[in-house]
Chain A
């Protein structure tokens, strides 16, 4: 079974600064996908970024980028130029690459952007 660990329950950062959220995972699979989801106070789950394990290049979506270290089973999320709207819970998630599979989530990191 796969497990996802987010060791930072809470973080806070000043607006416009850069923050990195950590995620580690455990799997015996070689092909898989990793995701970061954002859950703002509205409770909506929003897909932030996606990484395929077979790609060495780190995924980037505007101010969001990841540092994917496959050997270390690490998948961190970097938010640059943080904005007040980035305040949310952030969940790291794992998916096996066997067609359409379930997501296995970490416990989340509550990020607060301070004005």
Chain B
């Protein structure tokens, strides 16, 4: 158990819908990262937050957005869903302040039908 929690574990929804994925980092970790794992794209970085502020953006679609709240949990919002958004979405956290190893949550499996 990495200490990073993600909910829900599985999500099945229809095209055009909107979903929210939730992540709670390890206690004390300030950085939260979101990654997408799909069969055709592999593991790709989406976005990073550090202590509530957006820090870096990767290949994140405009239909996707995220935020980190004062209690450091983070949410990834996916809207206007398409079949190609079906993937495993991981959240990872790291302590920051010179310690950079990232610990991953169990992931949310999103299926868009």
Contacts and interface: CB of A to CB of B under 8 A. Distances in A.
A91 B45 contact: no
Contacts of B88: 43
Contact of B94 (A97, A100, A108): A100
A99 B94 CA distance: 11
Contact of B101 (A35, A104, A108): A35
A107 B45 CA distance: 13
Contacts of B44: 105
Contacts of B55: 100
B45 A43 contact: no
Contact of B102 (A43, A44, A47, A107): A47
B42 A47 contact: no
B25 interface: no
Interface residues of B, number: 26
A107 B43 CA distance: 8
A9 B44 CA distance: 18
A102 B48 contact: yes
Given A44-B106, A103-B102, 16 more contacts: A33-B100, A43-B109, A46-B104, A47-B101, A47-B103, A50-B101, A95-B100, A99-B96, A100-B31, A100-B55, A102-B56, A103-B43, A103-B92, A104-B45, A107-B42, A108-B43
17 contacts: A33-B100, A35-B101, A43-B106, A44-B2, A44-B104, A44-B106, A47-B104, A91-B43, A100-B31, A100-B94, A102-B45, A103-B35, A104-B45, A105-B43, A105-B44, A107-B42, A108-B42
Interface of A: 33, 35, 37, 42-47, 50, 91, 95, 97, 99-105, 107-108
